[in-house]
Chains A and B, each alone.
Chain A
Amino acid sequence: MPDTRERLRGVIEKVAEKPVPDDPEESLFESGLLDSFQLVDLVGAIEREFSIKIPDADLSPRKFDSVARMEAYLATRS
């Protein structure tokens, strides 16, 4: 079973339809990989992949800005 980072990279790649940067700290929005509407898709795809419901209070774009930040957020949910 792939680890969280690999699963996240797979989800992001599917939403962005582009390769994900190697650096897990790189901003996916500042780099232009994702736009605001793809963020909506990404959050929905993470919910499905990890079988979680992300509450409104956690819907801060900062939490989904990079692979590392998403990983850190998911760690708080486990």
Chain B
Amino acid sequence: MSSYLHAFGAYLPARVVSNAELAQRLGCSPEWIEKSSGIRERRWAGDEGVVEMGAEAARACLTRAAIPASQIGLLILASGSAPPGFPSPAASLAARLGLGIVPALDVPMASAGSLFAMAIASRLAEDYGDVLVVAAEKMSAIIQAHPLEKNTAILFGDGAGAALVSSRPGSWRILDSALHSDGQFGEDLRYDWTSPLKMNGLSVILHAARKMPAAIQEALDRSKVAATGVAQFLLHQANQNLLVRVARALGVPESRVFSNVARYGNTSSASMLIAAAEWSAEASPAGPIVFSAFGAGWHWGALVAAPE
């Protein structure tokens, strides 16, 4: 049984935090921030949390899909920055969206969470019909919970994205996905709410730059699609330099890799769906699309879809 991508949605908080503002607080230059990350500004939420931002992205997605919330059969919420404890945020988000007793599943995974959630949704759509995937992150809460650290504070932003996956035919048929996890490097990117975010940047870049192209190629091979035949790559927006690396490794023009990291920074698991929402608002289906993400865990993978 096939599953389909119908629509995407996104929400970004109103407050723009520029490199100039951050540079003043961090004692570095705005130019250094942009050179090392490709990021010019990011959004930081105020009182809004993961659930509130997720609800806005979900509503935007449902509007684009032209279906009521009552049609949703399953909700999956990815977030690596939702505060720990219970109830987990998926149930709260379902209640906020008025989903009644529809099952709501949490994927507590930073960065790659939305990719894993989409892949899970593609398998469960046969049983649940319309599956709403939401990824929401309030990374500013993590950054500001401790004294700002230059190498991490410059990277992250807040936001939410959403995708509707369904067993009903839609814009893109999901062809296949490849998911992987490897916990042996867990210390290289870690946050536990008691101490500052720990990131071994050398390790993150080394693994991401090799694993993302490999996973994309794996998913493309399974889908019998050539990298050069892909119309658009919609990747986790971690760092502009990394996006360029992935394009180079796959032998495709950089223009095929959508990028909004300069405007929003790294919004962790939300970034891939925010990118998809922005891209799909402007583009019409013209060829296969590829999603890919890599993040703390490690967790990484790719998903391929093609116009129906």
Q: Which residues of A contact B (CB under 8 A)?
A: 29, 36-37, 39-40, 43, 56-57, 59-61
Contact = CB atoms under 8 A, between A and B. Distances in A.
A56 B203 CA distance: 11
Interface stretch (B44-52, B112-120, B135-143, B207-215): B207-215
A39 B184 contact: no
A29 B202 CA distance: 9
A59 B211 CA distance: 11
A61 B184 contact: no
A31 to B, nearest CB: 14
Contacts of A56: 182, 207, 210-211
B202 A61 contact: yes
Given A56-B210, A59-B206, 10 more contacts: A36-B201, A36-B206, A39-B206, A40-B205, A40-B210, A40-B245, A43-B210, A56-B207, A61-B200, A61-B206
Question: Main secondary structure on chain B at its contact with chain A?
Answer: helix
Nearest to B211: A56
Nearest to B201: A36
Interface in B174-215: 182, 184, 200-207, 209-211
Contacts of B245: 37, 40
Contacts of B202: 29, 36, 39, 61
B152 interface: no
Contacts of B255: none
Contacts of B171: none
A31 B182 CA distance: 30
B303 to A, nearest CB: 21
A37 B205 contact: yes
Contacts of B29: none
A61 B210 contact: no
A40 B209 contact: yes
B280 interface: no
Contacts of A43: 206, 210
6 contacts: A29-B202, A37-B205, A40-B210, A56-B207, A59-B203, A60-B203
